Amino acid sequence: MPPYKLKYFKVRGRASALKYLCLDNDIKLEEEVVEMGDWAKVKPTVIFGQLPVFYDGNVEIAQSNAILRHLAREHGFYGKNNLEATLIDMINDTQEDLRLTYIQFIYQNWQAEKDKEAYLKTLPDKLALFEKALGRNDGGKGFFVGDKVSFADYNIFDLLDNLSVLSPTILDGFPLLKAFHGRFAAKEKLAKYRQTDAFKNTPINGNGKQ
């Protein structure tokens, strides 16, 4: 089959988990970078007027989590049965709640160092919930649901990575999450990609804050 195609800005943002899933599992993905100066011209051409958009053949899909779920269904990263799929949705939706607080902080609330300090103080209680959820599945030694990686695992890895850039010690009080993040960062294909200039030179967020 032809490779899938991703259209997005030159940021990691909402596309990182998708890229990680594809890279880690040899799923071909073409990328089209939209420059910010071209966005006004591109916006009317994409469904819902937002990025990222993803193309599976002639089908255009928006919404990063919808894209991930589509790939997960197509390639077996959505659990072994309906119950696991439901649990994966639950974990991913909770991840989205935390991610939205991060996005709001980065784009709206971070005006001074005191704002960063205030946001970081909110994170331990939230991360404790993920530590607990991970520990319930095989003692936290593998994935968040079942015995195989799911799209939610890639999403959580990406979010933890962003938070660790914001505060390098943020996971120190959460040994299961820290080990989970380390296992994904050490995956051969992901580790190789994360050492490239293309990855290092791509900002996490569109406003340059990270």
Residue with tokens 């990328």: 31
Average pLDDT, the chain: 97
Residue 1 has pLDDT above 80, yes or no: no
Mean pLDDT of the region 3-8 = 96
CA–CA dist 32, 9 (Å, integer): 8
pLDDT digits (tens, 9 = 90+) for 38-66: 999 999 999 999 999 999 999 999 999 99
pLDDT-derived band of residue 2, with 50, 70 and 90 as boundaries? low
- Tell me the CATH class for 4-75: alpha beta
pLDDT digits (tens, 9 = 90+) for 187-199: 999 999 999 999 9
Compute the Cα dihedral for 152, 156, 159, 161 and give only its sign. Answer: negative
Mean pLDDT of the region 178-185 = 98
Burial class (CB in 10 A: 0-12, 13-18, 19+), 60: middle
Mean pLDDT of the region 136-150 = 98
Domain ranges of the chain: 4-75, 82-190
pTM of this structure: 0.96
Which residue in 16, 11, 58, 65 sits closest to 36, CA to CA? 11
Q: Quick one: CATH architecture of 82-190?
A: Up-down Bundle (1.20)
Residue 111 has pLDDT above 80, yes or no: yes
